[in-house]
Every structure is written in structure tokens, then in C-alpha cells.
Amino acid sequence: NAGVTQTPKFQVLKTGQSMTLLCAQDMNHEYMYWYRQDPGMGLRLIHYSVGEGTTAKGEVPDGYNVSRLKKQNFLLGLESAAPSQTSVYFCASSYRTSGVGTQYFGPGTRLLVL
Amino acid sequence: KNEVEQSPQNLTAQEGEFITINCSYSVGISALHWLQQHPGGGIVSLFMLSSGKKKHGRLIATINIQEKHSSLHITASHPRDSAVYICAVNGRHRGSTLGRLYFGRGTQLTVWP
């Protein structure tokens, strides 16, 4: 039981490049989330999903897209990376149908955009 | 103004001391969470509570719904408790099944031997 895994762990991009971050969970959770964490700020929700095939915008969605084609996977895409997207990205999943439940976090992806 | 405020921002303690971290929130909530983030970056959930008090080992979390306030206590602190402690609340989200999480900025705790 691996819990929540994220790939890659580290990434360096040049401005304008694109990439996809993969989140996978093996706990059969319905809810999945993408957050970003920046120095001096709390975690902020980028996008979330309440089930396979559904996604919704969070607090800071601009510049990101997501897809949830399979229940266990939640992908975060950056179409044209910008230095402002330099951050640590965390994926999480939750087991309660209302979304109010313990969230299990992945180890994070450190992204540097030059 | 952040919906969730934590204090203090930084806390230094000597091994064995009793520690309290405070969290105040301004939104209606379904539940409150305490999370721990280690220097390596991983985030783990310590508690989820909606009333009263919960205890796990040396950690105790309390919540006062009327005062919109929660505290995390660590008894007999140890250097391995050094981490960032994050308070987060599930806001009541009208018209949605997702109670989104609002996060505090975290409290950096350092415990010296």
C-alpha cells in the first residue's frame, strides 16, 4: 500500500515549456486535490476532483489544467510554464464522500521555472 | 485577511517543555485539521476534529466551536517534534459536496535537546 505517490519529485523547466505532474493513490479515494505551497503562504488549492471524470477549479487555477481519467490518477498540467509557477506541489486524496475527511498527502514535487 | 490564523509563527522550546500552538478561524466549518510537515517536506495528518478534544500519544488537540479556536498541545516535547504544524479547516461550501480546506500559514516548531 503506497498511499499517495507523485512523479516527478523534482523538475526544472524553462519559461514556456510544458509538463505534467502525476499523482496516484491506491486507497480507492473519491476525492483528489492539487495544492501549491509557497514560502510564507499556506497551502492553496489549484484544482480538485470529486470522482473519476470530474474536475473543478480551486483557489488558484490559472495556468494549470487537470484530468482524472482513472479514479486512482490525477494529473496536473502546465501548458506554458512561468516563473510564478515555481513552487512545491502537493497532491492529496480524501476518503469521505462529502470531502470532509482526513486528507492523505503525497511527498511533493519541487518545480523550478527559469 | 487569511481565513485561518495561527500563532505563534515560530516557536522554540527546550526538550521536555509543554507546547501550545493556537489556531483561529473566521469561516463556518465542518471540521478542523492539524497537519505536520517535516523538514523533508512530507505532510501528515495528525488530527481531524469537529468538537471537544482528541489525544494521540503526547499530542492533544482541542477545539472550541463557539470561539472559533483550536489548540494543539505537545507534552514532554522532543527534538523529533521539530516540524511545521499546520491548521486547516473544512469550510462549509454552499451548493457543493466539497468542504474546501482553508490552510493557516503554519507554525515552525524547533525543540532543542
Residue B39, preceding peptide bond in cis (omega within 30° of 0): no
Residue range A9-17: mean pLDDT, rounded: 96
Quick check: A83 pLDDT over 80? yes
Shortest CA gap B43–chain A (Å): 6
Q: Do A58 and B104 touch (CB under 8 A)?
A: no
Quick check: A1 pLDDT over 60? yes
Interchain CB contact of B4 with A (< 8 Å) = yes
Q: Do A43 and B88 touch (CB under 8 A)?
A: yes
Q: Which residue in the set A88, A92, A99 is minimally distant from B99, CB to CB?
A: A99
Judge contact between B85 and B47, C-beta under 8 A: no
Per-residue pLDDT reduced to its tens digit, B19-55: 999 999 998 888 999 999 988 778 999 999 999 999 9
Nearest to B33, CA basis, from A105, A36, A47: A105
In this prediction, residue B91 carries a pLDDT of: 78
Query: Measured between beta carbons, which residues in chain A are less than 8 angstroms from residue B99?
Result: 98-100
Per-residue pLDDT reduced to its tens digit, A25-82: 999 999 999 999 998 888 999 999 988 999 999 889 999 999 999 999 999 999 999 9
- A50 phi-psi bin (left φ>0, alpha ψ -120 to 50, beta other): alpha
Most B CBs within 10 Å, among A43, A93, A94, A111, to test the B interface: A43
- Sequence-distant (≥ 6) Cβ neighbours of residue A39 within 8 angstroms: none
| For B47, nearest residue in chain A (alpha carbons) | A102
Residue range B84-102: mean pLDDT, rounded: 75
Residue range B82-103: mean pLDDT, rounded: 78
A99 confidence band (pLDDT: 50, 70, 90): low
Quick check: B77 pLDDT over 80? yes
Residue range A11-16: mean pLDDT, rounded: 97
Quick check: A96 pLDDT over 80? no
Quick check: B95 pLDDT over 60? no
Q: Do B106 and A48 touch (CB under 8 A)?
A: no
| For B6, nearest residue in chain A (alpha carbons) | A42
Interchain CB contact of B92 with A (< 8 Å) = no
In this prediction, residue B29 carries a pLDDT of: 86
Cell of A89: 506541489
In this prediction, residue B30 carries a pLDDT of: 85
